Chains A and B, each alone.
Chain A
Amino acid sequence: MSIWGRFKNLWAGSIQRQLIVGIAAVHAVMMTLFVADLVLRQTEFLRNQTIGQATSLAETLAANSTSWVLSSDVVGLEEVVRSQASYPSLQYALIHDLEGKVLGYSDRQKVGDYIDDSMSRSLLGRAAEAVILLNNDDLVDVGVPIIASGTQIGWARVGLGRGEIAANLNIITRDGVLYMVAAIIVGTLFAYFMGLGLTRGVRGLVSVTDSMRHGNYNTRAKEDRADELGKLAKAFNEMNEIIRNREDELKGMNSQLEDLVTARTEKLEATLNELRIKQQEVLQSEKLSAIGGMVAGFAHELNNPLMGLGAYIDAIRGSSDPSARSPEVQEAIEKAGKIVERLMKIVQSILHHTVVHEFAFTEIALSESVDETIHLFRAGAMVEDLTINVDISDDLPPIWGDVNSLQQILLNIMLNARDAMNESENKLIEISATANETDVSISITDTGSGIPDEILNKIFEPFFTNKAPGKGTGLGLSVSNDLILNIKGSMQCRNRPEGGAEFIVTVPIYKADQ
């Protein structure tokens, strides 16, 4: 960093420092100017005073010596010169004629000699008027012409020393410098304490700011000062209060936001899980669709030979009296017929599963549709010891979908329930329904053995069954699941805590604009 940069940092780093240096500098400059001006004025005054004294003395000397000079009376002139000898600071008094001959001098030995130095000789031939020959720090030398009857007859010179003046000036200068130093010290102390007072208030504010920065809004700046800093502290505390309140508000809002985010996140996670499930289902569906296509082709190809085979078996049956055949042959024919019948049932089921249905969406009254399904169920199944309880209010809103698909779904579930209750003493199916704003949920429960947890997520897969071989194709619930998806509904299954399973089929409510 440059020297200037360091100086700026040093200067700008502290208000107290700026005050001290600033005031000290101002004092130094002002007092220096004051002392310089004082000394200059005193010097000028004392110099002029000395010049005036020397001139006055020289004029007196000239006036008193006129007749003595005219008389060349060196004794008289000696008295005249001696009369001035006691004058303070007098260095010499000199009287000489126009040729430079000394007529009177402080040192009487020089009387009769001639002035010799250039400055003295500069008087010779000079106009008859008072002249300052020398004016320096040590001496002032004034020459005054001695005039008699308008004619100059000589020069009177006086040399006054300025040693005393110099001593006085030194005292004045010394005192001035002392005052200057004292002023700088006093000013610096004043600036120090003033800066201390100012920066104490500022430091208090900085301390409060630091506390605030670290989250502590309970610290307060002192408001005991009546000056601007006190007002600033008061305003600062008010600001602190406002910030603290807003901070609290923010915290509350933040907490709410966090709760909201958590809730949303949970919801998103649930949605994501659903999406994953749906994705799995879609994948499964696509896989099943591909398998179904293949199976459908396979079933179609099997159907005709099986029908031919059945026809041949029927032809064999009708070609002769069954009693004419040996029991073994008759038994074989019957078994073959049953096997073909079973194969055809399987093929028909496959074909039924894989054929694309035509859906006729319409407004459905659920209770009626359920009653019809129960009627079909009782007609087609050996269920004399099975009780079906229906609890569906007539106030339920109508639903929207394909009634055949709905009845097929309910029928499949009821058939599975029947099969699950083979070993149950109390065979009971309960059907109920609830509605919300958008959907109607149909609950079908049984009192069977329930569904093992490990297969609960596989029961809607095609060809999946836990029934004994030959008792189920594994396509019923798979077909039902496809149908409910096609009518914009859904289907779930769970085991009841009290035993048995519960299927919940959700179907959208009918809306007038549909």
Chain B
Amino acid sequence: MTMIQAFRSLRKLPLAACMVLGVAACDQTETDAENQIYQPTFAAGAKDTERTYVLGVHPLHNPERLFEIFNPLAVYLGQKIPGTSFKIEASRSYAAYDKKLYAGKFDFSLPNPFQTVNSLKHGYRVFGKMGDDQNFRGIILVRKDSGIKKMSDLKGKAVSFPAPTALAATMMPQFYMQKNGLEVMKDIEVRYVGSQESSIMNAYLGNTAAGVTWPPPWNLLSEERPELKAEMYPIWETDPLPNNGLVVRDDISPELVAKVSKVIFSLHEDKAGQAILSSMGLSTFEAANNETYQPVINFLEEFSREVRPLEKSW
């Protein structure tokens, strides 16, 4: 307690004594202003702050993990493009991400290919994409002691998936299972667990017979937790599709898009950029456009026909 606070406390002693002794002549020295309890005040708009662009990333990981991986990219962009700042916005679920993406809340976004093609109808355009398309494939993980050897071994068992709209980690593996003899929506118990890591952990813990994901989350998590790699392995993997897209809302100026593109597509050219890419399990970003994702549209058409119907928004 500071001396001033102590004095203020003591100052009230005579007042209390007056109350106790019933002395009516004591002056009330406290003012109304002093008695008013502080409350924060608010204004409708930001004050003199530079424009911050929101870069929404689809739930590749849980929000903290995703922030850890992608926030360096936002910082890097702010440093490279004077007068701007970027912030990463995660989403706790694909549904939440979809809702925000389709509401146009993000200035820039990194949706998966399925969401990329859907975003085109919601005011976004493709200006780039993640490289390493060969990694954009689904993998089906099982415990080494699970006894799962062939696709039919999964029949009647639960399989964990991140989310219904996860392209590489859900739709592509479901399509693969369908093509390899399983009636996905009937032969197995499809269990959507919300995130890549959760899907992996469910299989590791034995809650599900297999866990479905895609290579980057598996690589990162298995490096962090070697016991996963020791006890699990990817028993199947799907064919690749174009990797996650980079979309920008249509009202963002082409000049800024050009600047962002220039920075992002040249990340692999310096160490700081390489470090950012490394944490993403990626070698580069590359330029792309709406047509780049036509194969994805084709896949979605076929998936919708053969596995389960999708709401056609592309």
Given A114-B45, A159-B38, A177 contacting B20 (CB threshold 8 A): yes
Q: Which A residues lie within 8 Å of B164 (CB)?
A: none
Q: At the interface, yes or no: A44 with Cβ under 8 Å from chain B?
A: yes
What does the 1/0 interface line of B1-21 toward A look like (CB < 8 Å)? 100011011101100110111
Cβ B40 vs Cβ A173 within 8 A: no
A-B contact count (CB 8 A): 138
* Bound CA–CA A424/B92 (angstroms): 180
Cβ A181 vs Cβ B20 within 8 A: yes
What does the 1/0 interface line of B38-49 toward A look like (CB < 8 Å)? 111111111101
Stretch at the interface among A13-21, A66-74, A387-395, A406-414: A66-74
Cβ B42 vs Cβ A116 within 8 A: yes
Contact residue among A39, A66, A71, A99 (Cβ-Cβ distance under 8 Å from B9): A39
* Bound CA–CA A99/B54 (angstroms): 13
Contact residue among B5, B16, B46 (Cβ-Cβ distance under 8 Å from A101): B46
Q: Which A residues lie within 8 Å of B20 (CB)?
A: 174, 177-178, 181
Cβ B64 vs Cβ A115 within 8 A: no
Q: At the interface, yes or no: B152 with Cβ under 8 Å from chain A?
A: no
Q: At the interface, yes or no: B267 with Cβ under 8 Å from chain A?
A: no
Given A149-B64, A177-B17, A71 contacting B40 (CB threshold 8 A): no
Cβ A40 vs Cβ B9 within 8 A: yes
Which size class do A's interface residues fall under? 35 or more
Cβ A72 vs Cβ B38 within 8 A: no
Which residue of the partner chain B has the closest CB to A72?
Answer: B89
Cβ B42 vs Cβ A115 within 8 A: yes
Q: Which A residues lie within 8 Å of B1 (CB)?
A: 40, 43-44, 47
Q: At the interface, yes or no: A321 with Cβ under 8 Å from chain B?
A: no
In this complex, which of B5, B37, B52, B96 has the most chain A Cβ atoms within 10 angstroms of its Cβ? B37
* Bound CA–CA A141/B100 (angstroms): 33
Q: Report the minimum CB–CB distance from A170 to chain B (whole Å).
A: 6
* Bound CA–CA A401/B46 (angstroms): 156
Given A43-B1, A173-B16, A67 contacting B42 (CB threshold 8 A): no
Q: Which A residues lie within 8 Å of B67 (CB)?
A: 70, 148-149, 151, 153
Q: Which A residues lie within 8 Å of B9 (CB)?
A: 39-40, 43, 137, 169
Q: At the interface, yes or no: B253 with Cβ under 8 Å from chain A?
A: no
Cβ B71 vs Cβ A148 within 8 A: yes
CB-contacts of A107-139 with B (<8 A): 110, 113-117, 119-121, 134-139
Q: Which A residues lie within 8 Å of B52 (CB)?
A: 99
Cβ A110 vs Cβ B42 within 8 A: yes
* Bound CA–CA A43/B44 (angstroms): 38
Which residue of the partner chain B has the closest CB to A161?
Answer: B37
Q: At the interface, yes or no: B91 with Cβ under 8 Å from chain A?
A: yes
Q: Report the minimum CB–CB distance from B84 to chain A (whole Å).
A: 13
Which size class do B's interface residues fall under? 35 or more
Which residue of the partner chain B has the closest CB to A118?
Answer: B41
Contact residue among A44, A71, A161, A169 (Cβ-Cβ distance under 8 Å from B89): A71
* Bound CA–CA A100/B189 (angstroms): 45
Cβ A181 vs Cβ B47 within 8 A: no
Cβ B16 vs Cβ A139 within 8 A: no
Q: Which A residues lie within 8 Å of B66 (CB)?
A: 70
Cβ B38 vs Cβ A134 within 8 A: yes
* Bound CA–CA A121/B46 (angstroms): 11
Cβ A67 vs Cβ B63 within 8 A: yes
Q: At the interface, yes or no: B261 with Cβ under 8 Å from chain A?
A: no
Which residue of the partner chain B has the closest CB to A110?
Answer: B42
What does the 1/0 interface line of B206-219 toward A look like (CB < 8 Å)? 00000000000000
Cβ B91 vs Cβ A174 within 8 A: no
Cβ A148 vs Cβ B64 within 8 A: yes
Q: Report the minimum CB–CB distance from A440 to chain B (whole Å).
A: 107
Q: Which A residues lie within 8 Å of B62 (CB)?
A: 67
Q: At the interface, yes or no: A94 with Cβ under 8 Å from chain B?
A: yes
What does the 1/0 interface line of B189-205 toward A look like (CB < 8 Å)? 00000000000000000
Cβ B63 vs Cβ A71 within 8 A: yes
Q: Which B residues lie within 8 Å of A94 (CB)?
A: 40
* Bound CA–CA A35/B88 (angstroms): 56
* Bound CA–CA A170/B19 (angstroms): 10
Given A67-B92, A99-B49, A153-B67, A174 contacting B16 (CB threshold 8 A): yes
Q: At the interface, yes or no: B153 with Cβ under 8 Å from chain A?
A: no
Q: Report the minimum CB–CB distance from A362 to chain B (whole Å).
A: 116
Cβ A141 vs Cβ B42 within 8 A: no
CB-contacts of B27-41 with A (<8 A): 35, 37-41
Q: Report the minimum CB–CB distance from A73 to chain B (whole Å).
A: 6
Q: At the interface, yes or no: B68 with Cβ under 8 Å from chain A?
A: yes
CB-contacts of A31-88 with B (<8 A): 35-36, 39-40, 43-44, 47, 66-68, 70-73, 76
* Bound CA–CA A115/B44 (angstroms): 9
Q: At the interface, yes or no: B90 with Cβ under 8 Å from chain A?
A: yes
Q: Which A residues lie within 8 Å of B44 (CB)?
A: 113-114
* Bound CA–CA A134/B38 (angstroms): 9
Cβ B90 vs Cβ A67 within 8 A: yes
Q: Report the minimum CB–CB distance from A122 to chain B (whole Å).
A: 12
Given A40-B6, A67-B92, A149 contacting B71 (CB threshold 8 A): yes
* Bound CA–CA A73/B96 (angstroms): 8
Q: At the interface, yes or no: A192 with Cβ under 8 Å from chain B?
A: no
Cβ A113 vs Cβ B92 within 8 A: no
Q: At the interface, yes or no: A91 with Cβ under 8 Å from chain B?
A: yes
* Bound CA–CA A331/B37 (angstroms): 169
* Bound CA–CA A107/B63 (angstroms): 26
Cβ B88 vs Cβ A70 within 8 A: yes
Contact residue among A36, A101, A115, A169 (Cβ-Cβ distance under 8 Å from B40): A115
Q: Which B residues lie within 8 Å of A149 (CB)?
A: 64, 67-68, 71
Cβ B12 vs Cβ A116 within 8 A: no
Q: Report the minimum CB–CB distance from A382 to chain B (whole Å).
A: 130
Given A73-B92, A73-B96, A151-B71, A36 contacting B10 (CB threshold 8 A): yes
Cβ A137 vs Cβ B8 within 8 A: yes
Cβ A70 vs Cβ B41 within 8 A: no
Q: Which B residues lie within 8 Å of A151 (CB)?
A: 67, 71
Q: Which A residues lie within 8 Å of B5 (CB)?
A: 43, 47, 135
Contact residue among B38, B71, B91, B105 (Cβ-Cβ distance under 8 Å from A139): B38
* Bound CA–CA A70/B64 (angstroms): 7
Q: Which A residues lie within 8 Å of B39 (CB)?
A: 91-92, 159
Contact residue among A67, A70, A139 (Cβ-Cβ distance under 8 Å from B37): A139
B residues with a Cβ closer than 8 A to A are 1, 5-6, 8-10, 12-13, 16-17, 19-21, 35, 37-47, 49, 52, 54, 62-64, 66-68, 71, 87-92, 96, 100, 105
Apart from A40-B1, A72-B105, 20 more pairs, CB < 8 Å: A36-B10, A67-B62, A70-B66, A71-B63, A71-B90, A71-B91, A71-B92, A71-B96, A76-B92, A116-B43, A120-B40, A120-B41, A136-B38, A141-B38, A149-B64, A149-B68, A151-B71, A159-B39, A177-B17, A177-B20
7 residue pairs, one from A and one from B, having the closest CB atoms: A149-B68, A173-B16, A113-B42, A67-B63, A70-B63, A116-B43, A70-B90
A-B contact pairs, 13 of them (CB 8 A): A35-B13, A40-B1, A43-B1, A47-B5, A70-B89, A92-B39, A99-B49, A100-B46, A100-B47, A114-B43, A159-B39, A174-B16, A177-B16
